[in-house]
Structures are given as structure tokens and as C-alpha cells.
Amino acid sequence: MYMLGNTKMGSASSFSKFCLTLLLLVVVLGSTNAQLSTNFYSKSCPKLLSTVKSTVTSAINKEARMGASLLRLFFHDCFVNGCDGSVLLDDTSSFTGEKNAIPNRNSARGFDVVDNIKSAVENVCPGVVSCADILAITARDSVEILGGPKWAVKLGRRDARSASQSAANNGIPAPTSNLNQLTSRFNALGLSTRDLVALSGAHTIGQARCTSFRARIYNESNIDASFAQTRQRNCPRTTGSGDNNLAPLDIQTPTSFDNNYFKNLVSRRGLLHSDQQLFNGGSTDSIVRGYGNSPSSFNSDFVSAMIKMGDISPLTGSRGEIRKNCRRVN
């Protein structure tokens, strides 16, 4: 009986160890594959959304263009190894980040505003909220403040400890891209052709530098002549002359988030080559027309596409870190 009892005790002990191991495994797996959720910080940082919103509002009140710049940072973050805050990292003597990659150099901006938002958030809940999530919230707030739709942002991303200049150079579509290049890049990230057109509607706000559209306004034929002449006044033909002069991506309402971008494309008044590719006798013409005719259709598809883009390869659970300063790893 003693021997038998001992065996039973041994098996019970082994079973409880097995259960404990299984529980730990579930916890570990859960922490590395955690899901994003809209209420991720509801207990750990209840004042998060109002804190971000007030800082973004004051930044846009100072300069309306800042809304487009902050929205663009989120795009340029998510398109390079996922939405992980890597675009915010400064170069150091031992580290080359993404800020000086071709798509970002002399054009990505709003980093100081992100610093201000991070400081404000750290004041209300230190060490809790990632820079990657701050970018996601800031993008939504910028759209809403400029008259666009509002949506519940999924949160729970953590920050990358590294960045990749080469991935930024290769991963962010250039303004010279054709429709096939745009479609394949978006598809590679799990974004559909409809998502591509909807997200391109972000160009209803913001400005572009002369270097980005010079070739289009002087060399292309699928462009409204008077529009080309208007843009040529502030963007000389000669490279090196007026390279950084700005023009609105949407000539009608450059600081209002609306569907005029699509109406411009139908009128052959897309500023960038890549913009006009969406309405140039190809497969996306009908989507552009649809959004030009229906603001509500554009808004709902834009929201869906933004949420999908925000789901690209986030670091969750125990991966990555919560940066104290968005410009450098802890």
C-alpha cells in the first residue's frame, strides 16, 4: 500500500508539474502573440487618448500641414518592417536609422510634435505607452481634426529596437511608381488594390516638394494643361532650382480631409505621377470614380484600410520595448 500510495503521489506530482508547464507555455505564447485591441490602455493609461488629442490639436492649429505630416509618419512606419515606431529612431555613431532614407530625407517631418506627445503621455502614465501606438493614434486624430472620419484605433504595439534604412529605401513606394509597382507593394503587405486607392486618398491633405512632381508637370501628357502651368510657376524645370518649393497635393482643399483628391484625378490634376496612375485607363479607374462621387464610400474604405495597415507586423507581448524617448532605444 505504501509503495502504491507513493506511486500515486508521484504521478499526481508529475501531473501538477505538467499542468504548470502547460500554463507557463500558454502564458509565454500568449505574450508573444498578443492581439491588438481598442481598449488596450483603458486601465493602464485611461487619459491616453485625450492627452494625445489635445497635443495634436494644438500642433495642427499652429500649422495645418502638420496633420498630413503626422499621418505620413504612420504610413512610413508601417511600410517598413511593420508598425513598430522604427521611423522615429535617430541615427547614432553605431546605428543608421530610417530618417535619412530617400523617401524620408528632407521630407519626413513632425518628429518634434511626436516628442511633445510622448512627453505629455509620459506625464500621465510613465513607461506604459509605445511610440508605435502614439503614431497610430496621432494619425487618426490628424484625419479627424482636418474633417475626416473617426475610428477606434487598435493598440498594444511595442517599439522596435532597430530600424533599416535599406528597407525604407526599398519598401516605401516612390512618387514615380506605376500602377503595377504600387499594387504589388501594397499586396505584399496584405493590402488590396481597393486599400491602395483608399489610402492614397490621404493625399487629400499635405504638400509635396518640387523634386517629387517636376518630371510630371513638364514631361507628361495625361495632365490638365492649366494645372501644369500653375504648378510650373513655382517649380522651375532646371534641377537644383526650387527643389524644395512646395505645392498642395490637393489643389482644391489642401487642409481639409475630403474626397476632392479623387475628383482631381478624374480631371487629370493629380500632382504626383503615382497619384495619376490610379486614374489613367487602368483597373483602378472605377474605384477612383466611385470615391469621387461618394465621400461616405471613401471614408468607410479609408477607415478599413487604415485599420488593416495598422495591423502590419506589430511587435506585441514581450517583443520589442516601450521606449522612454521615441528617438532612441532604452
CATH of the domain at 151: 1.10.520.10
Cβ density class 211-240: b for 16+ within 10 Å, e for less: bbbbebbeeeeebeeebbeebeeebeeeee
Q: What is the pTM of this model?
A: 0.89
H-helix or E-strand spanning residue 248:
strand 246-248
pLDDT 10s digits, 29-51: 443 446 999 999 999 999 999 99
Q: To the nearest whole percent, how much of the chain has pLDDT over 70?
A: 90
Same structural domain, 159 and 188: no
Which residue intervals of 238-329 are DSSP H helices? 260-266, 273-276, 285-293, 295-310
Q: Verify that 63 and 149 share a domain, yes or no.
A: yes
Q: Over the stretch 100-116, which tens digit does the pLDDT of each residue have?
A: 999 999 889 999 999 99
User: Which of these three, 132, 153, 169, is where a domain ends?
Assistant: 169
Are 60 and 92 part of one and the same domain? yes
Burial of 52 (0-12, 13-18, 19+ CB in 10 A): buried
pLDDT at 27 over 50: no
On whether the CB atoms of residues 48 and 129 are closer than 8 A, the answer is: yes
Residue ending a domain, among 135, 169, 203, is 169
Range of the domain at 130: 45-169
Q: Is position 205 within any domain? A: yes
Q: Point out the catalytic residue in the list 65, 76, 185, 216.
A: 76
State whether residue 95 is helix, strand or coil. Answer: strand
Catalytic residue at 76?
Answer: yes
CB atoms within 10 A of CB 81: 20
Count: domains in the chain: 2
The chain-wide mean pLDDT, for the chain, equals 92
Q: What is the DSSP letter of 151?
A: -
Residues 159, 214 share a domain = no
Q: Do 74 and 104 lie in a common domain?
A: yes
At 17, the pLDDT band (50, 70, 90 cuts) reads low
Q: Contact 145/56 with Cβ under 8 angstroms?
A: yes
Residues 194 and 152 in one domain: no
What pLDDT score was predicted for residue 111? 98
Please give the average per-residue pLDDT across 255-277, as a whole number. Answer: 98
Would 25 be classed as within a structural domain?
no
On whether both 50 and 142 belong to a single domain, the answer is: yes
